Homo-oligomer: A and B are copies of this chain.
């Protein structure tokens, strides 16, 4: 099953599953974090699990490493992938010696459904190798000026307006009690609506940060108290990826 020309190259690599980061922004001009060692791992891999096959193909092509995309076996791994299929994927890793996992954006298995394959790897004694790369959550936290000694990522807030307001106030109480930075994301077209909810529901002294288009050409990170945000000009929200963070005083 395993192509012969691959077996030779694989020898210097460890067996198992490499968690391979991709770019955060389609418009990232440079990939400073993707050094030659990681490029070699990519070049010697024939089996890839991708949250989005098209994104994975486009990312690999864009690197111009001479990889023939049609030679790759790319298997879809997303929220609809069943556990039987994931178990089969783990068997494939053993067959190929090693494989890569890629999410649609940034680091795999963070804020995406990839962790289920990593979990199965642990059960079957397959080694996992997380690689260093961009994470919008981590970059936003670094750039926020809010506590990085205690923080929580919550994914998405509820869509229903009343429920969302309740959740925000509850997270603010928890933030004050634990000294914790609260972090969440939103689908780009809802950025403005979630921002207004935050401004309305949080206390004036709470520090609120928005980090948009991280690593992209429109990157912007701003943090201020809710009181100051209320006084400032309304933000024109673009449909671009945003991370929101706050910390109660």
Q: State the A residues within 8 Å of B (CB).
A: 19, 30-38, 107-116, 118-123, 127-135, 137-155, 180, 207, 209, 214-215, 221-224
Contacts and interface: CB of A to CB of B under 8 A. Distances in A.
The 3 closest A-B pairs by CB, nearest first: A119-B145, A32-B35, A118-B145
A88 to B, nearest CB: 17
Given A132-B215, A151-B153, A223 B122 contact: yes
Contact of A121 (B112, B132, B145): B145
A107 B142 contact: yes
A142 B106 CA distance: 11
Given A115-B147, A150-B153, A110 B30 contact: no
B110 A141 contact: yes
Contacts of A222: 122
Given A34-B35, A132-B134, A19 B180 contact: no
B110 A148 contact: yes
Given A30-B35, A32-B38, A132-B133, 5 more contacts: A32-B35, A109-B142, A112-B148, A127-B221, A135-B135
A134 to B, nearest CB: 5
16 contacts: A33-B35, A33-B132, A109-B141, A109-B142, A110-B138, A115-B148, A118-B142, A119-B223, A130-B142, A130-B221, A132-B132, A132-B215, A137-B138, A149-B155, A151-B152, A152-B152
Contacts of A132: 32-33, 132-134, 139, 215
Contacts of A139: 130, 132
A153 B183 CA distance: 12
Contact of A153 (B35, B129, B130, B152): B152
A146 to B, nearest CB: 6
Contact of A36 (B32, B112, B135, B221): B32
A108 B141 CA distance: 10
Contacts of A133: 33, 132
